[in-house]
């Protein structure tokens, strides 16, 4: 399968699913290597051959940009909804982006709590990793963050009192870390 076809298939899979999809192994490396090789070829080629090679590079770049923009939007949605992502689905640069977003979001929450004069106890509240058994709408946790909405089988790290209430009502189960 050509790189263009592989990128197109990966893009279609990302667009057709709400969840982040596993990318083919070494896709990022193959994109970089192929673009470098094609650019070298276009420099050595003349006329129509050079133009066709440059056009192929642009098609690869366009598909790759679109693919990673769709994935970026999903990562942003997960962070905004407080849903823990499976990092094995992320490329190396996406994992750095995700970690940075989590850090920034935590700082934002700390600033918001300070602004609202929320006691330190709430900031330091224990969190529990849960797996949802049923679909539930979004809710505001005791830390004033919005969580969800969640679908059955989603996994999230939420404040202990909220997690305990969901577990008690049979909506979620605790996962051991």
| 75-132 confidence digits (pLDDT tens) | 999 988 888 888 899 999 999 999 999 889 888 887 887 777 655 555 457 899 999 9
CATH 3.40.5.50-classified regions of the chain: 119-174
Determine how β-strand 146-147 pairs with β-strand 172-174.
unpaired
Q: Say yes or no to pLDDT of 69 above 90.
A: yes
Q: What angle do CA 59, 16, 76 make, to 5 degrees?
A: 85
How far is 22 from 86, CA to CA, in rounded Å? 10
Q: What are the beta bridge partners of residue 159?
A: 127
CATH 1.20.58.1030-classified regions of the chain: 3-99
Q: Is the pTM of this model over 0.75?
A: no
**pLDDT value, residue 125:** 72
Encode 57-67: b = buried (16+ Cβ within 10 Å), e = exposed: beebeebbeeb
The predicted-structure confidence for 150-164, as pLDDT tens digits, reads as follows: 999 999 999 999 999
Fold adopted by 3-99: Methane Monooxygenase Hydroxylase; Chain G, domain 1 (1.20.58)
The predicted-structure confidence for 131-150, as pLDDT tens digits, reads as follows: 999 999 988 888 888 898 99
Estimate to the nearest angstrom the gap between the alpha carbon of 98 and the chain centroid: 7
**pLDDT value, residue 56:** 92
CB 135 within 8 A of CB 156: no
Quote the tokens at residue 95: 């994992």
**pLDDT value, residue 41:** 87
CB 54 within 8 A of CB 61: no
How far is 88 from 127, CA to CA, in rounded Å? 22
CB contact set of 137 (below 8 Å; sequence gap of 6+)? 148, 149
The predicted-structure confidence for 25-67, as pLDDT tens digits, reads as follows: 899 999 999 999 998 888 887 888 888 988 999 999 999 999 9
How far is 86 from 82, CA to CA, in rounded Å? 13
Fold adopted by 119-174: Ribosomal Protein L9; domain 1 (3.40.5)
């Amino acid at each position: 399968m050509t790189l263009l076809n592989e990128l197109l298939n990966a893009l279609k899979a990302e667009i057709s699913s709400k969840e982040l999809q596993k990318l083919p192994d070494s896709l990022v490396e193959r994109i970089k290597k192929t673009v470098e090789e094609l650019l070298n070829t276009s420099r050595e080629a003349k006329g129509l051959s050079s133009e066709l090679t440059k056009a192929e590079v642009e098609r690869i770049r366009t598909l790759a940009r679109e693919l990673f923009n769709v994935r970026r939007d999903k990562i942003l949605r997960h962070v905004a909804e407080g849903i823990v992502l499976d990092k094995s689905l992320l490329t190396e640069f996406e994992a750095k982006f995700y970690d940075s977003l989590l850090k920034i979001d935590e700082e934002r929450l700390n600033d918001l709590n300070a602004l609202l004069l929320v006691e330190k106890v709430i900031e330091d509240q224990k969190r529990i990793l849960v797996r949802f058994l049923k679909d539930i709408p979004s809710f505001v946790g005791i830390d004033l963050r919005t969580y969800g909405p969640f679908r059955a089988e989603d996994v999230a790290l939420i404040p202990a009192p909220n997690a305990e209430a969901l577990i008690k009502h049979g909506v979620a189960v605790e996962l051991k870390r």
